[in-house]
Amino acid sequence: MQSLAKRKAATMAQKLKTLDSGKKKAEDLIENLASTNASLKKEIVHRKAAERSLKKSEQLHRNLLNEARRMQAQLRYISHQILWAQEEERKRISRELHDGVTQTLVHINLNLEILKNTALLSPQNLRTKIRATQKLVEESIDSVHDFARDLRHPVLDHLGLIPTIRVLIADFTKRSGAPVLFTCFAGVERLSSARRTVLYRVIQSALSNVAEHAEASKVEVGIQKIENFVCMTIHDDGKAFDLNALKYRKRDQRLGLLGMRERLEMVGGRFEVKSAPSEGTIITAQIPFGRYAKLAEG
């Protein structure tokens, strides 16, 4: 009986040992499952983060593609406008040469032909014809000078920006009757020739717009140095216009503002225009100055 009890005890001990071993394996399995589950959760988090990053990247690429297409369309528009402007300028030059210089030269030639045929007649008539011919020559010279000045004012190269602007303002006041208050700091002449030319062209275009469309009673043109920029403002008290509706207006008006902006951006500058009833129109232009101008060029 005692031997049977020992065998039963040994069997029970073996079963307990087997149970403990199974329990240990179960615990190890549960621990492994928990570790695997944690790893899966981390992997899911990483995958979701990667998906979000991929979506953001795809959206960024779509935005960049749309921006590139928009800029391409804008470049095409600008190219068309420039080609149109060049053609219009050729027509204007051709018309001015034909109606101005060519007609004057024809009159001179006719007078010379008359002089050749009447040289032996009355000296008084001869002097009268000579004076008339001289007057035609003077008119032709003046016409050529005006034409050359419109293309590029010689004073800009020989005397500088400030005297050229004063001549431009004097011509504007003579044509429109509107006085112009002009202020400028002397250091503007230290700008490169390209930048001084841009400022001159912007003022020239702005005053032309004022003379043709604004019906202003006065204009203010100011050029000053603010921090690292040359800042120019052109303010007239004339009729305002709706910037949003400008695209529906005449092409030359659109191209005038577009040309100003393009000229300034070519030299690293910025352009802004504001227009409101009872306040007139303010054009603002900024160009980098000093070492910042070289950085913009680089």
More confident residue, 64 or 139: 64
Split into its structural domains, the chain has a count of 1
| 220 belongs to a structural domain | yes
Q: Is residue 272 part of a domain?
A: yes
Give pLDDT tens digits for 243-293.
766 654 554 455 578 888 888 888 889 999 999 888 899 999 999 987 655
Q: What is the DSSP letter of 261?
A: H
Q: How far is CA 22 from CA 25, 32, 57, in A?
A: 5, 15, 51
Residue 172, in any domain of the structure: yes
pLDDT beyond 50 at 210? yes
Residue 201 lies in a domain: yes
Give residue-wise pLDDT tens across range 29-74: 777 777 787 888 888 888 888 888 888 888 888 888 888 888 888 7
CATH number at residue 188: 3.30.565.10
Nearest of 256, 257, 259, 265 to residue 286 by alpha carbon: 265
Burial 173-201 (b: 16+ CB within 10 A, else e): eeebebebebebeeebeebeeebbbbbbb
Q: In the prediction, which pLDDT does 170 show?
A: 93
**pTM assigned to the model:** 0.58
Instruction: Give the residue-averaged pLDDT of 170-178.
Output: 91
In a domain, residue 202? The reply is: yes
Q: Report yes or no on 298 lying in a domain.
A: yes
Per the domain annotation, does 99 fall within a domain? no
* In-domain check, residue 118: no
Residue 249 is part of which domain span?
156-298
